[in-house]
Amino acid sequence: MGERYLKSIRLLAECMQGFERLSGEHVRQCGLTHAQFDIIATLGNTPGMPYKELGDKTLITKGTLTGVIERLEQKGLVERERSLDDKRSWFIRLTPRGEQLFREVFPRVVSLGAAVFSGYGDDDFAALEKTLSGLKQVITAGGA
């Protein structure tokens, strides 16, 4: 009785795993690892963000993040700029080439989604968004 949510969690995990199975191939094809794509996707469509914030959003610890950013920098996909306010801090953003990759890869992953959701109507999306929003809220509230 107290474990009904287990079914939901299992479903949630299966959905994510299914989506990763679909998208993973495209991610690898463009020469990115999972962690690297995570960074690119997080920086995409933003003006960039502080190093710290990037680590918090992607759940990558600072020691690891240094290496991941370094490899993306070597590939010319992201760039770092020292913050003026706080000289300890760095601001990370996609380079034009990084932006280009984001715009190439994301739509490819996205087109998979488009096919998957071709049968979804407005009501279906509304229901999905509503339930997931609620779920997100209780989950993140529990962590804070």
Sole binder of DNA in the list 10, 16, 34, 127 (CB under 7 A): 34
Using CA atoms, how far apart are residues 58 and 42, in angstroms rounded to an integer? 8
CB atoms under 10 Å from CB of 28, counted, come to: 12
Using CA atoms, how far apart are residues 113 and 22, in angstroms rounded to an integer? 9
Residue 31 in 3-state DSSP? coil
State the binding string over 70-109 for its own copies (x if CB under 8 A, else -): ----------------------------------------
Q: Are 130 and 113 in contact (CB under 8 A)?
A: no
Sole binder of DNA in the list 30, 50, 93, 112 (CB under 7 A): 50
Sole binder of DNA in the list 10, 28, 57, 103 (CB under 7 A): 28
The binding site for its own copies (CB under 8 A) comprises 2-9, 11-22, 59, 110, 112-117, 119-120, 124-125, 127-136, 138-143
